[in-house]
Amino acid sequence: MKIWPIAKVSLIAIAGISTVYDTSYAEVGPQIGWAPVISGLVFFPALILVGLFVLKAILRRKLNFEKPTLDSNPLDFSHPEHFFHLAGMVMMASGMCGLVATYIRSGEVWPVQVATVTLGIGVLFGLWILQVVHAGQLASSNK
């Protein structure tokens, strides 16, 4: 029996459930604008692109990427993409649960909850960029 799929799904569920019962957003929710939503979506993919530029153009190295799965170990430091995959999933789950819970409680959607979802989407989009670059790198090396 593999432990990582159970541990990952449990962690994602715990993050989502704990966000449902968190009411601290009520104090700061209305004051935070939409800038964190946009920066959360753009930050990680932009960081990935800068890192790829440094890796490919300046250092002239190949990208070492392993596609994250539920079976992969997120604590394997030789492949940090496994950790970021889990982190993106946890952020998306907790943000979506927070959105639903806040909407049910108050009938409003605050940017602070949307920011968590977009940060998770940004992390997963950045990993997708890495996967596309790695696939292109493999295709060019097989020619």
DSSP 58: I
Number of separate domains in the chain: 1
User: Is residue 98 domain-resident?
Assistant: yes
* HSE value, Cβ hemisphere, 13 Å, CA-based, for 9: 7
Domain that holds residue 142: 81-143
User: Is residue 61 domain-resident?
Assistant: no
Closest Cα partner for 126 from 65, 54, 66, 47?
47
For residue 33, the model assigns a pLDDT of 83
Per the CB < 8 A criterion, the answer to whether 127 and 51 are in contact is no
Q: Which residues contact 142 (CB under 8 A, 6 or more apart)?
A: none
User: Is residue 28 domain-resident?
Assistant: no
User: Is residue 46 domain-resident?
Assistant: no
pLDDT in tens, 80-110: 999 999 999 999 999 999 889 888 988 888 8
Is the pLDDT reported for residue 65 higher than 70? yes
User: Is residue 37 domain-resident?
Assistant: no
For residue 107, the model assigns a pLDDT of 86
Per the CB < 8 A criterion, the answer to whether 63 and 55 are in contact is yes
Could you give the CA distance from residue 73 to residue 128 in angstroms, rounded to a whole number?
Answer: 18
pLDDT band at residue 1 under the 50/70/90 scheme: low
pLDDT higher at 66 or 30: 66
Q: What is the pTM of this model?
A: 0.88
Per the CB < 8 A criterion, the answer to whether 112 and 28 are in contact is yes
3-state secondary structure of 92: helix
3-state helix, strand and coil shares in percent for the chain, rounded to the nearest 5: 75, 0, 25
pLDDT in tens, 102-140: 889 888 888 888 888 999 999 999 999 999 999 998 888
For residue 29, the model assigns a pLDDT of 67
For residue 10, the model assigns a pLDDT of 94
Which amino acid is located at 43 in the chain? F
User: Is residue 121 domain-resident?
Assistant: yes
pLDDT in tens, 18-39: 888 877 766 766 678 888 889 9
User: Is residue 97 domain-resident?
Assistant: yes
Closest Cα partner for 98 from 87, 108, 85, 86?
108
Closest Cα partner for 91 from 22, 12, 26?
12
